[in-house]
Amino acid sequence: MNLWIGVGAFVIVALVFLLLPLWRQKSALAGRHNEIRWPAVGVLGALPALTVGLYIYLGAPDIIKEQALTQAQANYDVDGMVKALEDKLKVTPNDAEGWYALGRAYIAFERFADAEEVLRKATVEAPKDAKLIAQYAEAIALKQGSLDGRPLELLMEALEISYEETKALELAGLAAFQKEKWAEALHYWRRLLKLLPKETEHHEAIAQAVVTAERKLDLSLGGTGMKAPTPPDEPKKTPH
Amino acid sequence: MIPELGHVALIIALQLAMLQGVLGLAGATRGNTVWIAMARGAAGGQLLFIVAGFLALIWSFMVNDFSVMNVADHSSRHLPVQYRITAAWGSHEGSFLLWALLMSSWTVSVVLVGRKLPADLQARVIGILGLLSFFFLAYILFTSNPFMRLHPPPANGSDLNPLLQDPGMIIHPPLLYMGYVGFSVAFAFAIAALISGKLDEAWARWVRPWTLMAWVFLTLGIMVGSWWAYYELGWGGWWFWDPSENASLMPWLAGTALVHSLAVTEQRGALRVWTVFLSLTAFALSLVGTFLVRSGVLSSVHAFALDPLRGLFILVFLCILIGTSLILFAKRAGAVKTAGDFGTVSRESALLAGNVLLLAALATVLLGTLYPLILDALGLGKISVGPPYFNAVFVPMMAPVLVLLGIAPWMRWGRESLPELLRRLRWQAGAAVLIGSVLPFAVAEWKWQAALGLVLAAWMILSTLSGLIARRRATGTLPLAAYGMGCAHVGLAVGVIGMGLVSAYQSEKTVAMQVDDSTRLGRYEFVFRGAEEVPAANYSAMRGVVLLKQEGKLVTTLAPEKRIYRSSQMTMTESAIRYGFFGDVYVAMGEPLEEGSWSMQFYLKPFVGWLWGGALLMALGGLLAALSGRNKGVNE
């Protein structure tokens, strides 16, 4: 619906409220046309003009158009960027970072099979990049709906390369949590928590998860009152 | 789209308010029925468009339209839906829109219910209400527009003040505003009387129900606000003499004086000028209250709005409104014919004396509220005027009012013999003193606050009830208004019992507690069973578990919370209260200490609920009186 149609309808309703009493008194005012004429004409002229004038001065009549435009632009840009990236990678197929970016874009669009394919290419180009491997693991997990099997192997591989890979720590923790290995999950997530910048939503979410895991661990150790055992130390084989 | 239409609706309402004002007043002066009819139509249209604007704002909150700045500033995606609706009037902008909505509703009810009013009086009242409404709508549109847009919109809003995320705060502002705005009807009637010079018993009969209804709403609003402060602020206080509380107390005191003065004018035709003066005062103080709370000149728990320009706008309006009404009063009060002679000892003079005392008490509150602001404005330093001042000045001023309250209903209109009166009331007075001074021993040790409260309360209840019984015996029947009076006066007595006993006998204790620690306060034993984390949509809470025991037996489990609200990172204390007829047990969580132990606060609040129960009875009494006034209006 056009905004101005709505404005027009509102003005008409307002005029009905004002002029209906005049209409009702018409017979009583038979000989006194002047009394009716000028207030009626005044109101008919002034109310629509003032309404439009004040609204243009106070309101934001253009915002509806602007909102629609921004929305369209946003959609157009993302599609365009993905297309441009695909074209670019046809020319430079050994650009691991490029494949990685495209894979993340596919994940955002929930095209998991495509994401798996391009991230596999990324890991082929840069086999020792923990970030790419962890992302590849996530794509497979999203496609198959579970972290078990290949994703978990890849995550361990990524952590072998770098024990500070945040995505790998998060997913490894999640995998452990799903298997109800609370202490192990806590180990990965506490480690992750130290790496994440504070006061971010990500940090907060992980902190929440740590609390949940702590409570689960506490319960599994036989109810309240007992202190949670300190989690296992970091593996000695940490390469750093 | 919807917010823009809401904006247009308010712009149309603004113009209709102006037409309603000008056509109403001019129509009454020139006797032009056409203009008067148009003013009435404008009033109806205005209500419709303000409702449309208000619904548009609520809709914007419901759908999380953060392109509306008001929504982005006062809501968030995590906010539960009921608070998204109430956030619409939780903000400064929204609360003024609520004010405009209520004022427009009162106006339409004057149009509909007041059909039997003399046409010119009704037209003037509608006109004056229209001009008031015009001011509020102009204020909203030009300084506090709830439909300001943001482009591009933020991804999430900054959430509603956690203090307002509470059921008490959902109904407190509308009730309070219904009261404030309701006094505008009495104000409009008073101005209309001054313009026309016509003020008689019929006038008082018309004004009284409106004023009583406004007073009922204001009483309930203050009651809910006080109760909210009690359970929400976490330390069990129920009145703080905070400027924003005083802001609502002042119109209440003036309104209380007004309903009594109106009774005199209605019954006897006396005190007319005084009644007009009080009508002007009650509404002016409602505006002063709104100015104080909403302009940002205070910085207290209620003052959520800070914008000097807005304050200036209200201040200028206040000056114009109070100035015009006082000039009109000075020039025209002489034209209002006085009548109804009465003697020095009579019901009229007793009611007048009570009125004067109420206004004197009001003046002390006004002084205590404004004095620090004036000092601050003149750069003479910041001081805070708190309970010591008000307890020392206000309470002694109110005690004689309570004594008079017991006497006045026993007095005859016109003239009364003092020795005869004393003879009639000697038993009630003696019994009250006896009950009041002995009863504290039964509760606990003897304390003067308790004794004073109980003597006054016993006096009020005994003299009021015996007065009603005597009257019923004499005349064989009692009008509804008399029941209303009895109910309100007994309600006040009940409230006074609560105030006296809780201030004399409350006790508190703050203890650091580990899991399974216990502590004693009064007859109760408290066992702390630790605290656990309880997440919710928009906050996370540590919930303590406290077992309340009496003589070794478990009474109940209390669960106070300490909440941290996500968006604002504000910490809130949710107290846990076991309500009881003879008193409350109140537990609040302090700060977490090391090793899972907490600082815990325990309070015993004997008879505290009587405070609000009394206020409820007072409101009920006001309602009965208002209904009785309406019946009379219909019968004639």
pLDDT in tens, B424-448: 888 888 888 898 888 888 777 888 8
Do the chains contact at B45 and A18, CB–CB below 8 Å? yes
Residue B144, pLDDT score: 86
Contact B490, B461 (CB under 8 A): yes
Check residues B319 and B164 and name the one with the higher pLDDT.
B319
Note the pLDDT of residue A66.
73
Q: Given a cut of 90, is residue B620 above it in pLDDT?
A: yes
**Which of B398, B507, B407 is closest to B453 using CA atoms?**
B398
User: Does A36 touch chain B if contact means CB atoms closer than 8 Å?
Assistant: yes
Q: Do B14 and A54 touch (CB under 8 A)?
A: yes
Between B256 and B552, residue with greater pLDDT: B256
- The interface residues of chain B toward chain A in range 23-42, judged by CB-CB distance below 8 A, are 23, 32-35, 37-38, 40-42
**CA proximity to B75, closest of B146, B136, B138:** B146
Over 80: is that where the pLDDT of A117 sits?
yes
| Angle of CA points B212, B617, B165, to nearest 5° | 90
Q: Is B548 helix (H, G, I), strand (E, B) or coil?
A: strand
Instruction: Using DSSP, state whether B636 is helix, strand or coil.
Output: coil
CB contact under 8 A, B12 and A47: yes
Q: What is the CA radius of gyration of chain B?
A: 26
The answer to whether the beta carbons of residues B503 and B449 sit under 8 Å apart is: yes
Among residues B489, B502, B586, the alpha carbon closest in space to that of B239 is found at: B502
Residue A19's pLDDT is what?
85
Q: What's the distance, CA B160 to chain centroid?
A: 23
In angstroms, the separation between the Cα of residue B172 and the nearest Cα of chain A is 31
Half-sphere exposure of B362 (CA within 13 A, CB side): 24
pLDDT of B401: 92
Q: Distance (Å, rounded) from C-alpha B34 to C-alpha B348?
A: 43
Phi and psi torsions of B570, nearest 5°: -85, 140
Average pLDDT, chain A: 80
SS3 call for B414: coil
| B138/A contact by beta carbon, under 8 A | no
Most confident of A229-238, B423-432, B617-626: B617-626
Confidence band for B301, pLDDT divided at 50, 70 and 90: very low
State residue B103's pLDDT score.
93
Which sign, positive or negative, has the C-alpha torsion B614, B617, B623, B627? negative
Alpha carbon distance B239, B566 (integer Å): 29
C-beta atoms of A6 and B1 within 8 A: yes
Contact B12 A10 (CB under 8 A): yes
Contact assignment for A18 to B42 by CB distance below 8 Å: yes
Give the C-alpha separation, B328 to B317, whole Å.
16
What's the whole-model pTM score?
A: 0.78
Is the Cβ–Cβ distance between B23 and B127 less than 8 Å?
yes
What is the rounded (10 degree) CA torsion for B341, B347, B350, B356?
Answer: -60
The residues in A 40-59 lying below 8 A from B, measured between CB atoms, are 43, 46-47, 50-51, 54-55, 58-59
B343-353 confidence digits (pLDDT tens): 778 888 888 89
Chain B environment of A35 (Cβ under 8 Å): 32, 34
Q: What is the CA radius of gyration of chain A?
A: 33
Res A229: pLDDT: 44
Q: Which of B14, B41, B152 sits opposite A17 (nearest CB)?
A: B41
- Determine the pLDDT at residue B303: 43
How big is the A-B interface in CB pairs under 8 Å?
110
Looking at the predicted structure, is the pLDDT value of residue B302 above 50?
A: no
Assess whether pLDDT exceeds 60 at residue A2: yes
- Put simply, whether A12 touches B (Cβ < 8 Å) is no
Distance (Å, whole) CA B490 – CA B494 = 6
Average of per-residue pLDDT across A233-238:
40
ipTM above 0.90, yes or no: no
User: Helix B92-113 to helix B81-90 angle, to the nearest 10 degrees?
Assistant: 80
pLDDT-derived band of residue B304, with 50, 70 and 90 as boundaries?
very low
Beta-bridged to residue B599, according to DSSP, are B512
Which residues partner with B546 through β-bridges?
B528, B558
Residue A239 CA to its chain's centroid (Å): 35
User: Which pLDDT value is given to residue A240?
Assistant: 39
Q: Do A25 and B37 touch (CB under 8 A)?
A: yes
Q: Identify which of A176-185, B114-123, B176-185 has the greatest average pLDDT.
A: B176-185
Q: Flag if B16 and A58 touch (Cβ within 8 Å).
A: no
- pLDDT at residue A35, rounded to an integer: 65
Stretch A48-70: mean pLDDT: 82
Selected residue with higher pLDDT from B40 and B237 = B40
Residue-wise pLDDT for A123-142, tens only, equals: 988 888 898 899 999 999 88
Contacts of A46 in chain B (CB under 8 A): 15
d(CA B325, CA B132): 13
Query: What pLDDT shows up at residue B465?
Result: 92
Quote the CA–CA distance of B181 and A66 in Å, as a whole number: 39
Please report the pLDDT score of residue A177 as a whole number. Answer: 87
Q: Is A3 on the interface with B (CB under 8 A)?
A: yes
Q: Is the pLDDT of residue A237 over 50?
A: no
From the CA of A51, how many Å to the nearest CA of chain B? 6
The Cα–Cα gap between B544 and B527 comes to 11
Q: Is A1 an 8 Å CB contact of chain B?
A: yes
Among the listed ranges A22-31, A119-128, A202-211, B149-158, which one has the minimum average pLDDT value? A22-31
> Distance (Å, rounded) from C-alpha B196 to C-alpha B332?
9
Cα distance from N-terminal residue to C-terminal residue, chain A? 63
For an interface test with A, give the residue of B22, B34, B47 to mutate (most A CBs within 10 A). Answer: B34
Nearest to A51 among B4, B8, B142 (CB): B8
How confident is the model at residue A222, as a pLDDT?
59
State the average pLDDT over residues B85-101. 88
CB B140 within 8 A of CB B93: yes
Half-sphere exposure for B521 (CA within 13 Å, toward CB): 21
Strand, helix or coil for residue A197: coil
- Inter-CA distances, A166 with A120, A187, A197, Å: 19, 13, 11
Asked if A11 and A48 touch (Cβ cutoff 8 Å), the reply is yes
Subunit contact A59:B7, Cβ cutoff 8 A? yes
User: Among all residues of chain B, which has the CA nearest to that of A11?
Assistant: B12
- The answer to whether residues B185 and B136 touch, using CB atoms and an 8 Å cutoff, is no
What are the CA-CA distances from residue B335 to residues B195, B328, B587 (Å)?
A: 9, 11, 60
Judge whether residue B635 has pLDDT over 60: no
Quick one: B66 exposed, middle or buried, by C-beta within 10 A (0-12, 13-18, 19+)?
buried
Compute the average pLDDT of residues B81-95: 87
A14 and B12 within 8 Å at the Cβ level: the answer is yes
Best interface-test mutation with A: which of B2, B5, B8, B144 has the largest number of A CBs within 10 A?
B8
* Secondary structure element (H or E) that encloses residue B540, with its range: strand B539-550
CA distance B37 to B349: 42
What pLDDT is recorded for position A1?
Answer: 55
CA proximity to B609, closest of B227, B240, B235: B227
